[in-house]
Amino acid sequence: MDIASRPAEPAQNPQIADAAPAPQAPPVIRREDYLPPAWLVPEIALDFALGLDATTVVSRLSVRRNPAGNGAQTLRLNGDQISPVAVHVDGEAINDWRMDGPDLLIELSGEAHEVRVETALVPSGNSQLMGLYASNGMLCTQCEAEGFRRITFFPDRPDVLSTYSVRMAGAKATFPILLANGNCTAQGEGENGTHWAEWHDPWPKPSYLFALVAGELIANHATFTTMGGRTVDLNVWVRPGDEGRTQHALDSLIASMKWDEETFGREYDLDLFNIVAVSDFNMGAMENKGLNVFNTRYVLADPETATDADYDAIEGVIGHEYFHNWSGNRITCRDWFQLSLKEGFTVLRDQLFSAAMGSEPVKRIEDVRVLRIAQFPEDSGPLAHPIRPDSYQEISNFYTATVYNKGAEVIRMMRTMAGEERFRQGTDLYFERHDGEAATCEDFVKAIEDGAGLDLTQFRLWYSQAGTPQVSASLKVENGTAVLSLRQSVPATPGQPEKQPMPIPLRVALFDRASGTHGGESLIVLDKAEDSFTFDGAGHDPILSINRGFSAPVSIEMARPDADLVFLAAHDDDPFARYEAMQSLVVQHLVAAVGSGLNEAQREAGREAIGEAFGAIVTDPELDDLMRGELLLLPAESYLAEQLLVSDPGAIHAEREGLKAWLGRKLGGELRALHDRVSAVPYSREAAARGARKVKTQALVYIAAGDPAEGARRGYAQYQAASCMTDRQGALMVLASLDCPERELALADFLARYEGNALVIDKWFSLQAGSLHPRVLDHIKALASHPEFRMSNPNRVRSLYMAAAMNPVAFHDPDGEGYRMIGDLIRRLDPINPQTAARFVASLGRWRRVEPQRAALMRAELERIAAQADLSRDVREQVTKSLG
Ligand code: ARG
Ligand code: ZN
């Protein structure tokens, strides 16, 4: 059907014109209200006439009454900022359709019908980046969670699975490449320089997995032969000019496919797998069936423009989206409350994949660091929610560190308790039992329970209770028998004042001081409010190593002598526990220093203990540099703030910076020697060279803290000698915080050198916005009016303002200028891109945990946002909860 010539008429239905203004409080959607859909849509055929400024869509749905539904006559098709140009039922134009708010309602009398709806879209005007939008001259889609309803009217919920056929036509010059889900079944030339393509996806899927891409793209291609012998064509599509930066993404895809076969027995199920990189994208990437759409930052890399961390992130996200093909697409979610079913499990899968590709202990430490920085604060603040939430107003607000990262930790605990082999039996059963279904978290737990042979009755509390459990531990020894007493409490969270004890699996070991070894690790499960565990043959004064490998996402409270932590930091054979001991040593000291206050002698004693452990790490020849890099990181200020009921961000910053400078002075010689040694290692992607680069910049950080002039000298030398982005970015980061001429020289060079490379210019913005320079707020303000700043591009917005919101110096400016800046941003960005705007609210929402003067300023900023009329549902929900 040719719809290209039809003009996009405005809707004729009078009920659309005077739609009521959006209510102040968006309706609350509750998990317990779930009802199966009244109508199913076994098949859908979509026909697109593509244009950047005008696209028309004709959608033909074959609808069938759901035997498990409520028997309603009314077919409800969700819409969002679209109106029907024409509606047909069984081939006849009808006029008795109605609108209910954004939704289209049609009365249907029979069991099965064909419904045809035409819509007209303006992709270039779609700044929310949900639905069909224009990015960099091309067209692409983002449908998860509720973007499909911005393209056409549809029961836009994940438990309605349909087989999709897509036809698209458009100008060949603008859209030489036409992609959709599944396989291309036909293509041809049209009139007036147009061409068309037809795509068919044989796998029934929910609407959120639909995707379409059209534009001028170029592919890096490879093939992969699956374990069953299927040859799969793989393409990484990018804008011409970017093709030289796609090999790592393609290699990561191949590695993911192979790993999922070997580790989870999962084989790919189409003959084609396409990845497209787009530069305007709200999130990281999207697992659309057979057509993953990615933020360019998780695709494009070469050594000159991407850091080692960028390479790792690309590998992880490529894996993540690929793994969704089974944990997400073949088995999807019944409703959005089940989001962690696919996200928690898929994050665990991508973590295990990255660990297998690189260093397992280093990956574990990184994952725990992310959890503590991003998820712990969420879990203790006004936006806390269980990994399976009970209610929401806007589902986009629930793509959180809790659903994703804590969700992964919860499944990881099941794996720890079952052991790898039995866990695999559990996941095998899950994939077999629920293939082709829209499942629930409960289905997953039951499958693991049955397949792995675990009793997870009480464990299900991890799905329903929010809050990070606090476990306090104490150890007593008598006659060689050690008694470990544990007590847990799960803090109250919004809507959940009372909590029940949860099963907490803890890997523990008792070290003998003299030999530096332990008699074996045990796994204990604390499943009561209080319990004690006995260990024989423990010697007379053992040292406890607890929550090894971070076996449970809890925080352990235990007062311990510095000497014990120094011992574990040097001797623990669990690398995570070693890192943890180092962190605890520093946390304990800094919390004491900013809390009760330490006198000079006590502060000096604390620093000496830390300096001793640090010195050992800097010089230990046995340590590999990647691990050394982890051990040298000081705990984040947000994590330190978490340890205090109410914190003074200024005091935390000053004390932590003071320690950094002290370490830089104390270990100056060793740090300079380390910086010299690793600076001589030539570039390669091998672990040893990556480790060298990691400690190179860290050594520089401490050197600059202890001796800014030496830091400026070495930083500028590192910048100029850099043969890769890791070294160059690291040097520029250090220089950006210094008040020295080298800072301006390097910043100007960087901008000129990478002109036109958006991802690198993002780095230029975020390094400055994240700097500890005394005039950082002025710098951020100037950057906001820099010609390269663009409010419409989420990567650019995040590079400036997320870096600012996470920068303690800028954000927590005592006069509240940082809060005002983020508040202004939220109010300006909300009408453009509510999803991205809402992401900034959480930083202001921490006010209850901040000292009273700053707290009042933060709260006032939230109130200014709340007072704004016409706030999006996204921002409204987050602001209301943060004030509440
Ligand atoms: N499912 C995607 C992923 O985690 C995230 C997409 C979410 N997008 C959104 N606009 N909420 O891989
Ligand atoms: Zn995901």
ipTM: 0.98
The arithmetic mean of pLDDT across residues 613-620, rounded, is 96
CA of 684 to the centre of ligand 1 (A): 33
Q: Are 146 and 395 in contact (CB under 8 A)?
A: yes
Q: How far does residue 278's CA lie from ligand 1's centre (Å)?
A: 14
The reply to whether ligand 1 has any atom less than 6 angstroms from the CB of 396 is yes
Tokens of 615: 């010195």
- Picking from 762, 761, 798, 614, the residue whose alpha carbon sits closest to that of residue 701 is 614
Reported as a single tens digit per residue, the pLDDT across 143-194 is: 999 999 999 999 999 999 999 999 999 999 999 999 999 999 999 999 999 9
Question: CA nearest 863: which of 836, 844, 850?
Answer: 844
- Other Cβ atoms less than 10 A from the Cβ of 549: the count is 19
Residue 250 contacts residue 234 (beta carbons within 8 Å) = yes
pLDDT band at 10 (very low <50, low <70, confident <90, very high): very low
282 CA closest ligand 1 atom index: 10
Shortest-distance Cα residue to atom 5 of ligand 1: 286
Candidates 432, 407, 271, 288; CA nearest to 349 is 407
| 321 within ligand 1 shell (Cβ under 6 A) | yes
Task: Give the position of tokens 């030398």.
Answer: 717
Of 140, 144, 205, 798, best ligand 1 pocket probe by most atoms within 8 Å of the beta carbon = 144
**For the chain, percent of residues with pLDDT exceeding 70:** 97
Q: 283 CA distance to ligand 1 centroid (A)?
A: 6
Q: Which residues contact 416 (CB under 8 A, 6 or more apart)?
A: 505, 507, 523, 549, 551
CB-ligand 1 contact for 292 (6 Å cutoff): no
Task: Please list the alpha-helical segments (H only) found in 595-648.
Answer: 600-619, 625-631, 637-642
Rounded distance from Cα 63 to ligand 2 centre (Å): 29
Mean pLDDT of 640-661: 96
Query: What pLDDT does residue 878 have?
Result: 98
C-beta of 283 in contact with ligand 1 (< 6 A) = yes
384 CA to middle of ligand 1, Å? 20
Report the candidate in 450, 451, 368, 453 with the shortest Cα–Cα distance to residue 412: 368
Question: What is the DSSP code string of 836-853?
Answer: HHHTTHHHHGGGGGB-HH
Q: Which ligand has the minimum distance to the alpha carbon of residue 408?
A: 2
Cβ-count burial 247-285 (b if 16+ within 10 Å, e if not): ebbbbbbbbbbebbbebbebbbbbebbbbbbbbbbbbeb
- What's the confidence (pLDDT) of residue 549? 98
Q: What is the pLDDT of residues 575-605, one digit of tens each?
A: 999 999 999 999 999 999 998 778 999 999 9
Q: How far apart are CA 377 and CA 397, in angstroms?
A: 16
Looking at residue 711, its pLDDT comes to 98
CA-to-CA separations, 716 to 720, 728, 861, in angstroms, rounded: 6, 9, 39
Q: Where are the beta strands (DSSP E) in 122-257?
A: 131-135, 138-142, 162-171, 177-180, 183-189, 194-205, 212-215, 218-225, 231-238
Cβ–ligand 1 contact at 353 (below 6 Å): no
Category of 131 on φ-ψ map: left (φ > 0), alpha (ψ -120 to 50) or beta: left
Name the DSSP letter for residue 647: B
Binding site membership of 341 for ligand 1 (Cβ less than 6 Å): no
CA of 383 to the centre of ligand 1 (A): 19
pLDDT band at 540 (very low <50, low <70, confident <90, very high): confident
Ligand 1 within 6 A of CB of 350 = no
Give the position, in ligand 1's atom list, of the atom nearest the Cα of 321.
Answer: 12
Ligand 1 neighbour 285 (Cβ under 6 A) = yes
CB 833 near ligand 1, within 6 Å? no
The pLDDT value recorded for residue 1 is 34
Q: Nearest C-alpha to atom 12 of ligand 1 is from which residue?
A: 286
In this structure, which residue's CA is closest to atom 2 in ligand 1?
Answer: 286
145 Cβ below 6 A of ligand 1: yes
Cα angle, residue 797 at apex, residues 791 and 798 outer, rounded to 5°:
165
- The residues with which 233 forms a beta bridge, in sequence order, are 223, 272
Sign of CA dihedral 596, 597, 602, 608: positive
- Check pLDDT > 50 for residue 241: yes
Residue nearest to atom 7 of ligand 1 (CA): 144
Q: What is the distance between the alpha carbons of residues 92 and 113, in angstroms, rounded to a whole number?
A: 11
Q: What is the 3-state secondary structure (H, E, C) of 315-328?
A: HHHHHHHHHCCCEC
- From 133, 286, 329, give the residue whose CB has the most ligand 1 atoms within 8 Å, as the site to mutate: 286
> Residue 573 and residue 509: Cα distance in Å, rounded?
10
Taking the C-alpha atoms of 646, 649, 650 and 655 in order, what is their torsion angle to the nearest 10 degrees? 90
Q: What is the pLDDT of residues 279-320, one digit of tens each?
A: 999 999 999 999 999 999 999 999 999 999 999 999 999 999
pLDDT above 90 as % of the chain = 95
Ligand with the closest atom to the CA of 346:
2
Number of neighbouring beta carbons within 10 Å of residue 186: 10
321 tagged catalytic: yes
Q: Which of 144, 146, 321, 742 is catalytic?
A: 321
**Cβ of 727 less than 6 Å from ligand 1:** no
Residue nearest to atom 11 of ligand 1 (CA): 396
Q: Which atom of ligand 1 is nearest to the CA of 343?
A: 4
**Burial class of 558 by CB neighbour count within 10 A (0 to 12, 13 to 18, 19+):** middle
Output the pLDDT for position 3.
35
- The predicted model gives 652-673 an average pLDDT of 98
pLDDT at 556 over 90: yes
In angstroms, what is the span from residue 347 Cα to ligand 2's centroid? 7
pLDDT of residue 230: 98
Q: What is the pLDDT of residue 2?
A: 36
Least confident of 20-29, 206-215, 393-402: 20-29
**Ligand 1 centre distance from Cα of residue 325 (Å):** 14
pLDDT at 464 over 80: yes
Nearest-angstrom CA–CA distance, 15 and 98? 8
AA letter at 242: D
Q: From the CB of 287, is ligand 1 less than 6 Å away?
A: yes
User: pLDDT tens digit string along 798-849?
Assistant: 999 999 999 999 999 999 999 999 999 999 999 999 999 999 999 999 999 9
439 bridge partner residues: 333
The angle, 0 to 180 degrees and rounded to 10, between the axes of the packed helices 725-736 and 758-769 is: 30
Query: What's the confidence (pLDDT) of residue 24?
Result: 66
Counting every residue written for the chain, the total comes to 884
- Looking from the CA of residue 142, the nearest atom of ligand 1 is 10
Ligand 1 close to Cβ of residue 286 (< 6 A): yes
Q: Does the beta carbon of 144 sit less than 6 angstroms from any atom of ligand 1?
A: yes
**What distance in angstroms lies between residue 399's CA and the mean position of ligand 1's atoms?**
7
Q: Could you identify the atom of ligand 1 that is nearest to the CA of residue 835?
A: 10
Q: How far is the CA of 320 from the centre of ligand 2 (A)?
A: 6
Q: How far is CA 502 from the centre of its chain?
A: 26
Pocket test for ligand 1, best of 399, 405, 839 (most atoms within 8 A of CB): 399
Q: Is the pLDDT of residue 662 over 70?
A: yes
Q: Where do we find the tokens 């060793």?
A: 670
Q: Which atom of ligand 1 is nearest to the CA of 399?
A: 11
Q: Which residue has the tokens 């000292």?
A: 851
Residue 529 confidence class, pLDDT cut points 50, 70, 90: very high
Neighbours of 750 (CB within 10 A): 22
User: What rounded mean pLDDT belongs to the chain?
Assistant: 96
Q: Whose CA is nearest to atom 1 of ligand 1?
A: 286
For residue 147, the ligand 1 atom closest to its alpha carbon is: 10
Residues 720, 749 contacting (CB under 8 angstroms): no
**The predicted structure's pLDDT at residue 747:** 98
Q: Tell if the pTM clears 0.80, that is, is over it.
A: yes
d(Cα 311, Cα 695) in Å, to the nearest integer? 17
Alpha-carbon separation of residue 141 from 148, 325, 394, 740 (angstroms): 9, 18, 20, 46
